[in-house]
Structure 1
Amino acid sequence: LKKHSMGIYVINKEDGQNGHYDDIGIFVEGEIVMDNIGSPAQACALMLGVIYALNLAYPKELRHYYEFIQKVLMGLDGEKLSPKVLGLKNKISNFIIIQFTEAIFLYSSP
C-alpha cells in the first residue's frame, strides 16, 4: 500500500478460489478508506467517487483508464478526449461494429 498513492486492494487466501475474495478495498496515501466492498467492479466505481469527493488527481499510471471510464462509459465531459482515450474508444467502437455485423450476417444466412 505504501508504494502507490491510491488504489484498490484485493485479499484472497492462498487456497481461496478465484473470484471469491476475503476483502476488497480502497486505499489513499497508505490508509484504507473503504473496505469490504462487494466486487472489484464496485471498487472501481467507488474509486471514481473517492477521487472526486477528495478532489484528487487520477493516479498517473491509471489516468487514461479513469478518463475512459469517466468520459466514454459515464458520458461526463466526453467531448474532450485525450488522443490515447480517443484511439481506444475508436478501436472498441470498430470492434463492436464488426462483431454486430458478423452476428447479423450469421443469423440472416439460411
Structure 2
Amino acid sequence: MAVFVIWKEGEGLQEPPADIGIVIEGVEVLHELTLVASACALLLGLIYALNLAYPKPLCFTFEHKMSPKVHNLYSKLQSSQ
C-alpha cells in the first residue's frame, strides 16, 4: 500500500505535482487526486472498505494503550521537563 506523488522533471516543490495516487498490492487503484492529505484519507477508507489485513509488524501503530515499558519511559521523559 502506498500513496505516490509524481513531479514533472525540473520543477521545484513549489509547483503542484503532476499526479497523486494510491497503489495497493502493486495495482494503481486511484490517481489524479488533488492533495496528499486526501490521498491518505482515501487510503484509510480503502483499507476499511476492502477489509485489508494490517501488517503484523505494525499491528500496534495506532493503539492508544501504552505497554508498561513505554509508559515508564513516557513518565521519565515527562518528569525530566
Give me the TM-score of the superposition, normalised by structure 2: 0.67
Q: Which of 21, 40, 53 lines up with 2:36 in the alignment?
A: 40
Matches within 5 A, 1:1-110: 6-19=1-14, 20-59=16-55, 60=57, 64=61, 67=62, 81-83=64-66
2:21 and 2:2 map into 1 onto residues whose CA distance is: 8
Identity %: 41
Matched AA of 2:5: V
Bigger shift: residues 41-50 or 17-26: 17-26
* Structure 1 residues not aligned, in runs of 5+: 1-5, 68-79, 95-110
Give per-residue Cα distances to partners, 1:48-82, cap 9 Å, x unaligned: 00100110123555962xx2xxxxxxxxxxxx624
* Structure 2 residues not aligned, in runs of 5+: none
Measured after TM superposition, the shift of residue 35 of structure 1 is 0.4
Aligned residues: 69
Measured after TM superposition, the shift of residue 22 of structure 1 is 0.4
RMSD (CA atoms): 2.9
Give me the TM-score of the superposition, normalised by structure 1: 0.51
Matched AA of 1:47: L
